[in-house]
Structure 1
């Protein structure tokens, strides 16, 4: 099978959503003048080590936000955001926070997710997340398409839950790494293997 995206694929569901997988989920918390927001984004990843940097992209709109969503609107307003790592153990809370609530409604409150303050930025973070990355915005870039935005940030603070440090390494085998596989499919990763790079 071959198709050009602009011509369509002829399948009942878009295969592109599942081809680039698994994808980690950036559970992004923000704060704006209208309050706190929490939303998951599966177009998310780390992009540099020194200084540590991350990215996520928002690919839709909300009626009450014009050409973007609450997360991007808040980040444009304040210049900060927090990435909360969503483990498999938190899948239901993560999913609940994806509800399209009106602007100014806190997903922390509506989904019953415990929150606390960040250290280096004015923003809330998810208490039970295995790790939180506090970030300062470096760039919001308009992507091709009607409502596609790329958000880049530098990490200014890292929280790691104590039980997720095992033998000096960040370890989520107990909770499971959560990843998006496309469509409505997710994966919980509990098994790892090592590979040595060639010299």
Structure 2
């Protein structure tokens, strides 16, 4: 089977990419507006892209009508965000926060998700997250540049909150204790419980 992406409708292209490039980690992004309204939304076009400086990238698509999502508007205005990874225990809350609430509604309040003040930045973090990265915006790039339908947020990590409950006896992260979820295609997700190891050749 071959797929000529130049002949695919955008929705079909998305479905093929989203169902094959898997599993994708989920960035549960909290931000805050200039008016002080907190926002929380998940994004699965997400990855770590640099360790020096430590930088994460989140791709935020526009709404179907071309308008900007609250996450992007907030981050453009304040230059700050918290990126949480999502454990299996938080899957339902994460999914609830993905609903299309009207502008100015706080998902923390509407979905009854606990929040805790961040230490270095204004946006709050999700209280029970196993790991949360306090970040400042390094840059925001529209894509494609000539007719953007999304923006890539490059977020430099300032501080990480790591739950002691996910550490092993050596103080390192145990992936089984983290029990993170990842996005597959459609409505499917996966968990990071089944792992294996390989040693890279010298």
- 1:170 paired to 2:168: no
From the two aligned structures, give the one with the greater helix fraction.
2
Give SS of 2:5's match: coil
Runs (4+) of structure 1 exceeding 6 A deviation are none
Give SS of 1:6's match: helix
How far apart, CA to CA, are the structure 1 residues paired with 2:159 and 2:64?
A: 30
Provide the aligned C-alpha RMSD in A.
Answer: 2.0
Give SS of 2:53's match: coil
Distance 1:48 1:107, change over 3 A: same
Compute the TM-score of the two structures, normalised by the length of structure 1.
Answer: 0.92
How far apart, CA to CA, are the structure 1 residues paired with 2:177 and 2:162?
A: 15
1:56 maps to: 58
From the two aligned structures, give the one with the greater strand fraction.
1
Give SS of 2:90's match: helix
How far apart, CA to CA, are the structure 1 residues paired with 2:148 and 2:49?
A: 24
Give SS of 2:92's match: helix
Taking the TM superposition and a 5 Å limit, the aligned residue runs for 1:12-27 are 14-27=15-28
Q: More deviation in 155-164 or 143-152?
A: 143-152
How far apart, CA to CA, are the structure 2 residues paired with 1:114 and 1:125?
A: 9
Taking the TM superposition and a 5 Å limit, the aligned residue runs for 1:122-133 are 122-133=122-133
Number of residue equivalences: 197
Q: Which 5+ residue runs of structure 2 have no aligned equivalent?
A: none
2:187 maps to: 184
Which of the residues 152, 155, 165 maps onto 1:153? 155
Q: Which 5+ residue runs of structure 1 have no aligned equivalent?
A: none
TM-superposed deviation, 1:159: 0.2
TM-superposed deviation, 1:14: 2.4
Compute the TM-score of the two structures, normalised by the length of structure 2.
Answer: 0.91
CA contact under 8 A between 1:62 and 1:69: conserved in structure 2? no
Give SS of 1:159's match: strand
